[in-house]
Structure 1
Amino acid sequence: MDAVTWLSYDELADRLGIERESARQQVKRKRWARQPGNDGKIRIGVPDDVLEERLGPGTANQAVPAQEPDPVPVPVPVVTEVLTRHIERLEVALEAALNRASDRDAVTADRDSLASERDILTVQVEALRAALTVAEKDRDRWHETATRISEPAPHRPWWRRLAS
């Protein structure tokens, strides 16, 4: 069975040269054993080979920073050319997007003006309908008056008409 060293989260973080929260996440990820210590802190069973990997030869309890890979040198003119072409493509795309936005704004303005014209015409149609209703009632009243049959005047002889 592999040898294990029992460390608290703070001790583990110091030994590995990482933050406490990173150490906690690493313990969860690698599913190392945990148990409560006598001091009330949780102790983690860390395999010794993990701790030895982090320590260089001849160092005791000092973490060795991880080496970063050497960046691959890229010729500057090539990078500049690639970035320049990419910027040009982005500028063309931006111009197209701005044109579409201005077209959309023009369509929106036309729609709004047509909607206001429609509202005005709706009000005018309602006013004309109301005027038509009034005119129809007036026409019906005059028609009724004109078609009412009046009773003929009583017939009087001619000498009575002269006498009166």
Structure 2
Amino acid sequence: MMDGATRWLTYDDMAEALNITPDSARRLATRHKWPRRPGNDGRALVAVPEERLERSHEPRAEGTDDEADILPEAGRDARALIGYLERRIGELTDDLAESRRVAEEARNEARDARIAAEALRVQAGQADVLTALVAAERAHLCEVRVERDRLVALLTQRPTPWIERLSGLLRKAA
């Protein structure tokens, strides 16, 4: 728990006062279990110890934590730092492996999508060729029908030879 005076600050104000990023401010408040409450504007307020604010007046690079934030509270010796760093490296290694796995899955999905798109493009091309062939065959069928009708008309209009006329007369007489 905290002893002494505190100041209620938003995460953004806390980040500015401690010269860290707002995400680092959230992690710091969570790690130290500093009390939180909603502010009048709906943003969270955190009870930051005055002592912690006073220690932060020296300039630091943005997004870095100082030694007090990195090392466990129980012991600030090299072994504790090494243990912390080894655990953090393990966490980051696991995160990297997971990120690589997710990236590989995304690459595989993108490859599969490209293959599917190519297959659809080929199918669309084949459909265009088939449509053109069907249209050509329909046009040819129309030409054949026109020629058939012309030949049938010629056959029905030709004069009947005399032998057919004679045989027709003989059949009617009988």
Q: When the two structures are superposed, what TM-score results if normalisation uses the length of structure 1?
A: 0.49
Largest Rg, 1 or 2: 1
